[in-house]
């Protein structure tokens, strides 16, 4: 009996090894199959372009057809709806502005889940409520698909250079399949845990980013009013303990740095509306978890006021200009 068991075990080990090799082979063969991309805004377009640069055929769509032209000129296949993308691709990335947009793109009348194929990998890089990510994962599972949340940080510049950081939530056994695509668009891909934990990490990051940007804007404004040259002040900050991303990489003062929104009348970059939205997500999750976030609450209030004062479509670093105008300058 023991000999029979040992023989059966050897047979099982040979079979499982064969299955593992076959699985790797299938993944390898599928590596350059088409990838769907939905949402071609400031972030989505450079992300999709980096997939093309890495040899992946891209099937794309956007609610604004004119947003597809740049990808179409690079030989991406442009289709009319998310449902049509789902017909043609079994790996789909979405990059959308908000939770309602994600709900519509996935579950709407022309949504992904209308035509999604069993086994399809769905990667959402939008920044949304973690509860919505979990809701989408359940809906996808019912259709035999796999949903992962993979929001990003780094901004438009990092998206163009494929230097984004992805924070991934979902089934750990599917992480490698997601990582294959995400490494084409980012320098860092971090597995955070179950579905929704990627969104949790992103919300925490953007909460700190907003607070840091307001602090940098206040600091630069005070230094200028005290007679300091803004470039000199930025140099001092960036070699001192006050150094942060908002001071050394994305300075909000016009003329201090090139290639950032403050050098271009705050055009492009990460919109004030989106920052206000992300701070709203932080506020909601803090309420749900009974977490005190007084500085984030104040930052949320500032960015909401900015949206009502004509800053909605400007980069969030325009808080420097907002503070100057509040002083009557």
Alpha carbon separation from 20 to 9, 16, 28, 327 (Å, rounded): 16, 6, 12, 66
CA–CA distance, 207 with 284 (Å, rounded to integer): 12
Name, in order, each residue with C-beta under 8 angstroms of 210's C-beta and a sequence gap of 6 or more: 275, 278, 279, 296, 299, 300, 303, 316
Sole residue written with tokens 């494929």: 162
**Active-site entry in 49, 202, 277, 314:** 202
CA–CA distance, 43 with 185 (Å, rounded to integer): 11
CA–CA distance, 195 with 149 (Å, rounded to integer): 6
Beta-strand pair 121-124/152-153 = unpaired
What radius of gyration do the chain's Cα atoms show? 23
Query: To 10 degrees, what angle do helices 319-326 and 197-225 make?
Result: 40
Cβ atoms of residues 315 and 272 within 8 Å: yes
Q: Is 202 a catalytic residue?
A: yes
**Exposure pattern of 83-104 as b/e (b: 16+ CB <10 Å)?**
bbbbbebbbbbbbbbbbebbbb
CA–CA distance, 270 with 154 (Å, rounded to integer): 10
CA–CA distance, 288 with 145 (Å, rounded to integer): 29
Sequential DSSP letters for 280-317: HHHHHHHHHHT---HHHHHHHHHHHHHHHTT-TTSBGG
Cβ atoms of residues 279 and 207 within 8 Å: yes
DSSP state of 255: T
* Active site residue ranges: 202
């Amino acid at each position: 009996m023991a000999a029979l068991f040992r023989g059966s075990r050897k047979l099982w080990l040979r079979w499982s090894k064969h299955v593992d090799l076959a699985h790797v082979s299938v993944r390898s063969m599928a590596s350059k199959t088409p990838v769907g991309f939905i949402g071609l805004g400031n972030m989505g377009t450079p992300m999709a372009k980096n997939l093309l640069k890495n040899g992946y055929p891209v099937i794309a769509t956007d609610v604004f057809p004119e947003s597809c032209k740049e990808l179409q000129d690079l030989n991406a296949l442009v289709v009319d709806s998310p449902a049509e993308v789902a017909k043609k691709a079994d790996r789909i990335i979405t990059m959308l502005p908000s939770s309602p947009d994600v709900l519509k793109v996935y579950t709407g009348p022309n949504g992904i889940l209308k035509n999604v194929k069993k086994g399809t990998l769905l990667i959402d890089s939008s920044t949304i409520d973690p509860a919505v990510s979990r809701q989408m994962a359940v809906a996808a599972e019912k259709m035999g698909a796999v949903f992962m949340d993979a929001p990003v940080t780094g901004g438009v510049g990092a998206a163009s250079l494929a230097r984004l950081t992805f924070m991934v939530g979902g089934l750990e056994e599917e992480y490698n399949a997601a990582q294959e695509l995400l490494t084409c668009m980012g320098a860092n891909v971090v597995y955070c845990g179950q579905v929704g934990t990627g969104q949790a990490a992103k919300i925490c990051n953007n909460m700190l980013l907003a607070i840091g940007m307001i602090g940098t804007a206040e600091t630069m404004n005070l230094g200028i009013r005290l007679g300091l040259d803004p470039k000199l002040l930025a140099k001092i900050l960036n070699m001192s303990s006050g150094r942060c991303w908002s001071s050394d990489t994305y300075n909000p003062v016009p003329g201090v740095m090139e290639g950032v929104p403050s050098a271009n009348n705050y055009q492009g970059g990460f919109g004030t509306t989106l920052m206000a939205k992300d701070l709203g997500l932080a506020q909601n999750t803090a309420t749900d978890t009974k977490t005190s976030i007084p500085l984030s609450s104040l930052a949320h209030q500032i960015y909401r006021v900015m949206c009502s004062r004509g800053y909605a479509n400007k980069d969030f670093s325009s808080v420097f200009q907002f503070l100057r105008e509040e002083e009557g300058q």
